[in-house]
Amino acid sequence: MSMDTTPREIVEPSNEDTEFVFFSGKGGVGKSTVSCATATWLADNDYETLLVTTDPAPNLSDIFGQGIGHEVTAIEGIENLSAIEIDPDTAAEEYRQETIEPMRQLLDDEQIETVEEQLNSPCVEEIAAFDNFVDFMDSPDYDVVVFDTAPTGHTIRLMELPSDWNAELEKGGSTCIGPAASMEDKKIQYERAIDTLQDDERTSFAFVGKPEDSSLDEIERSGADLGELGIESQLLVINGYLPESVCEDPFFKGKREDERAAIERAKAEFDADAMATYPLQPGEIAGLDLLSDVAGVIYDGEEPTVDVGSATDVETDQSVDTDALADPASIADRVTPGAETRYLFFTGKGGVGKSTIAAASATKLAEAGYETLVVTTDPAAHLEDIFGEPVGHEPTSVGQANLDAARIDQEKALDEYRTQVLDHVTEMYEDKEDTEIDVEAAIANVEEELESPCAEEMAALEKFVSYFQADGYDVVVFDTAPTGHTLRLLELPSDWKGFMDLGSLTKGAAPAKGDKYDEVIETMQNPEKSSFAFVMYPEYTPMMEAYRAAEDLNDQVGIETAFVVANYLLPTEYGNNAFFANRRAQQEKYLGEIKDRFETPLMCAPLRQDEPVGLEELSAFGDEIAGLSDIPEREPEVTVS
């Protein structure tokens, strides 16, 4: 690892052009905190600064303690700093209006209606959010724009979009984001965005991670993916290490030793120009004082402040009986299949341990005799790391009877979808030699449309839907992408059904799926067949993100939350000092709030000294999670002779 540059030199503007700083990483690692601290530090150093979040589940408002939303908003108490939280739905509607308005004087009503139908494509949300992102890369009003991006897998997707959509527009003709001929300005803008992203004099890319091997594994994979796009990562921030002074017993001493080993590994392996670290605080990082402390440590080389007495106002003598809050029998009832296959979804903010909870749940269900499949839809999937076994695109055993695992491989899903559509088109025109349609031209047109970036979204949806027809499983456990992207996935069956009903060429060429999508929507809405669980650790930001997402899931898709999971609960037998008493009291406070807000059964999962890896450890972890050890044994099938 080269250390020729300081973090300050990487983020501080060095010329007259607007500069851009991107922060990415697995959700829940403190990426938004570091982004906010960086933007605050730049503004305090007299740079006109804009902070933009592209995360569908933003929390800038929570960190700064003020409303922000989709409009550029001045941050109270800090000169030179503004922020915006890009809202995908609002961005999509703005994009539609901006695209259609110039055409109203040129096209008749029927032609306008055709364009409006094109712009009802679900992938317009993706390009619209991206369009906002590109707009801010062309902002001479600011010295520097700081991007707090979506969790890693989706950030890579965002970075690929300029090239993907540019290639699509170069083909000309009609696209599902509007007529290509009317979008020459967009094409020029996208080309400029590509150049800027690849220019390390104007763009800096930073990863934020926890001092854990799984977090570093993901950063290394993502750094390699960015490198293929011509974007070099320049800064690594390791956030949330345990302060040495508070680790007084074997449990936390062991955790700290593991963290130090991870930090040393990062220094040795990660290819960046600079690295910084910041400790875990006894309370949550919110408000300008703590943001200033984060920035001072990272950019000014100051010693961190870990003030147990004043970092949080939680009363340390508060006591909540987590055993009384948990409801093991109700949890067991909501995860156990009945006569039909049950679909079990674990979602939540990235980094809250949902993959591990999903894997442990699947392990205990399989042990109870249920044929179980666990599937990850997360682009940054690490089920393979958790099980310690290969996990591919198709379901395969992970070494235990009744238990298979799979992950959606985007490239393979896209290949499958293309083959499916083209086979269907070919079949449509078989034995129709007398047709007036130029069959070869029609197929070539479909092939071209299947190169569109939105075909990837459709392919992922198709693969997701296919698991609702998977034969032979009593239960299918979904380890989903971080919250905002999960909501997007769950909206897609109804969104694409509506779009396909319009009957455009590619959508009409695809096999009819309307009835199948209806069935999937109804299955997800039926609590007898599907259970949705939000995983969080008991802190304000993950709790509020999960609560808002649960409300959206109910309002937009008609799906109710079956139970919630509170993960990483501090053990009572270790950490007998003020630091952990403070954090434990904070957890207890939020456990009570979680129970009150969600009004649904609570599954409690403890913090472990080591992340469980392999079936034996997953089974032991499952025994510690309220409800999983209460799953009833599957009744043997009765055969009639």
pLDDT per residue as tens digits for the range 406-426: 988 878 888 888 888 888 777
pLDDT over 70 for what percent of the chain?
75
Q: In angstroms, how far is the first alpha carbon of the chain from the final one? A: 69
Between these two residues, 497 and 576, which has the higher pLDDT value? 576
Angle between the N-to-C axes of helices 540-552 and 483-500, in degrees from 0 to 180, rounded to the nearest 10: 10
Between these two residues, 12 and 2, which has the higher pLDDT value? 12
Q: Does this chain's domain 7-300 share its CATH topology with 322-629?
A: yes
DSSP secondary structure letter of residue 349: S
Min mean pLDDT across 53-62, 271-280, 501-510 is at: 501-510
Q: Answer whether 12's CB lies under 8 Å from 222's CB.
A: no
Min mean pLDDT across 129-138, 182-191, 456-465 is at: 182-191
Range with top average pLDDT, 47-61, 120-134, 509-523? 47-61
Q: Answer whether 587's CB lies under 8 Å from 316's CB.
A: no
pLDDT at position 163 is 53
Q: Is 345 helix (H, G, I), strand (E, B) or coil?
A: strand
Q: Alpha carbon of 404 to those of 214, 398, 627: distances in Å?
A: 22, 6, 22
Which residue has tokens 């220094």? 267
pLDDT at position 493 is 46
pLDDT at position 4 is 67
Whether residue 508 has pLDDT greater than 80: no
pLDDT at position 308 is 64
Mean pLDDT of 157-163: 54
pLDDT bucket at 434, cuts 50 / 70 / 90: low
Q: Answer whether 468's CB lies under 8 Å from 423's CB.
A: no
Strands 174-175 and 178-179: antiparallel
Which residue has tokens 């392999």? 614
Whether residue 403 has pLDDT greater than 80: yes
Task: Sketch the domain layout of the chain as residue ranges.
Answer: 7-300, 322-629
Q: Is 304 helix (H, G, I), strand (E, B) or coil?
A: coil
CA distance linking residue 310 with residue 370, whole number of Å: 50
Structure tokens, 248: 């007084």
pLDDT at position 346 is 92
Between these two residues, 158 and 131, which has the higher pLDDT value? 131
pLDDT at position 2 is 47
Between these two residues, 216 and 218, which has the higher pLDDT value? 216
pLDDT bucket at 435, cuts 50 / 70 / 90: low
pLDDT at position 170 is 55
Min mean pLDDT across 184-188, 506-510, 538-542, 610-614 is at: 506-510
**Sequence letter at residue 616:** E
Between these two residues, 506 and 452, which has the higher pLDDT value? 452
Q: Answer whether 570's CB lies under 8 Å from 583's CB.
A: yes
DSSP secondary structure letter of residue 105: T
Whether residue 319 has pLDDT greater than 70: no
pLDDT bucket at 514, cuts 50 / 70 / 90: low
For residue 330, give every residue at least 6 positions away whose Cβ sits within 8 Å of its Cβ, in sequence order, or none: 563, 601, 627
For residue 274, give every residue at least 6 positions away whose Cβ sits within 8 Å of its Cβ, in sequence order, or none: 3, 5, 6, 7, 9, 10, 234, 235, 236
Structure tokens, 427: 């079949």
335-360 pLDDT per residue, tens: 999 889 999 999 876 677 888 999 99
Strands (E), 301-348: 342-347
SS (H, E, C) 474-543: CEEEEECCCHHHHHHHHHHHHHHHHHHCCCCHHHHHCCCCHHHHHHHHHHHHCCCCEEEEEEECCCHHHH
Q: By C-alpha distance, which of 152, 155, 126, 213 is closest to 27?
A: 152
pLDDT over 90 for what percent of the chain?
28
Range with top average pLDDT, 10-24, 114-128, 238-252? 238-252
Min mean pLDDT across 33-47, 208-222, 552-566 is at: 208-222
Whether residue 475 has pLDDT greater than 90: yes
**Mean pLDDT, the chain, integer:** 79
Whether residue 531 has pLDDT greater than 80: yes
- The CATH architecture that domain 322-629 belongs to is 3-Layer(aba) Sandwich (3.40)
Q: By C-alpha distance, which of 332, 344, 330 is closest to 524?
A: 344
Q: By C-alpha distance, which of 550, 549, 420, 556 is closest to 494?
A: 556
Q: Which long-range contacts (CB under 8 A, 24 or more apart) does 581-584 make?
A: 581/316, 582/282, 582/283, 582/308, 582/311, 582/312, 582/314, 582/316, 583/282, 583/283, 584/316
Q: Answer whether 560's CB lies under 8 Å from 528's CB.
A: no
Whether residue 68 has pLDDT greater than 80: yes
pLDDT bucket at 309, cuts 50 / 70 / 90: low
Q: Answer whether 544's CB lies under 8 Å from 62's CB.
A: yes
Q: By C-alpha distance, which of 406, 394, 353, 371 is closest to 611?
A: 353
Whether residue 161 has pLDDT greater than 70: no
Task: Give the count of beta carbons closer than 10 Å to the beta carbon of residue 197.
Answer: 21
pLDDT bucket at 152, cuts 50 / 70 / 90: very low
462-471 pLDDT per residue, tens: 888 888 887 8
pLDDT bucket at 621, cuts 50 / 70 / 90: very high
Whether residue 272 has pLDDT greater than 60: yes
pLDDT bucket at 312, cuts 50 / 70 / 90: very low
pLDDT at position 62 is 79
For residue 342, give every residue at least 6 positions away whose Cβ sits within 8 Å of its Cβ, in sequence order, or none: 335, 336, 474, 475, 476, 529, 530, 531
Q: Which residues is 21 bridged to in the sheet?
A: 146, 204
pLDDT at position 140 is 73
Q: How many residues would you count in the chain?
A: 641
User: Cα 26 vs. chain centroid, distance in angstroms?
Assistant: 8
pLDDT at position 5 is 80
pLDDT at position 126 is 62
Structure pTM? Answer: 0.76
- 503 conformational bin, left if phi > 0, alpha if psi -120 to 50, beta if neither: left
pLDDT bucket at 438, cuts 50 / 70 / 90: low
Q: Answer whether 91's CB lies under 8 Å from 128's CB.
A: yes
DSSP secondary structure letter of residue 326: B
Range with top average pLDDT, 434-438, 531-535, 575-579? 531-535
Topology of the domain covering 7-300: Rossmann fold (3.40.50)
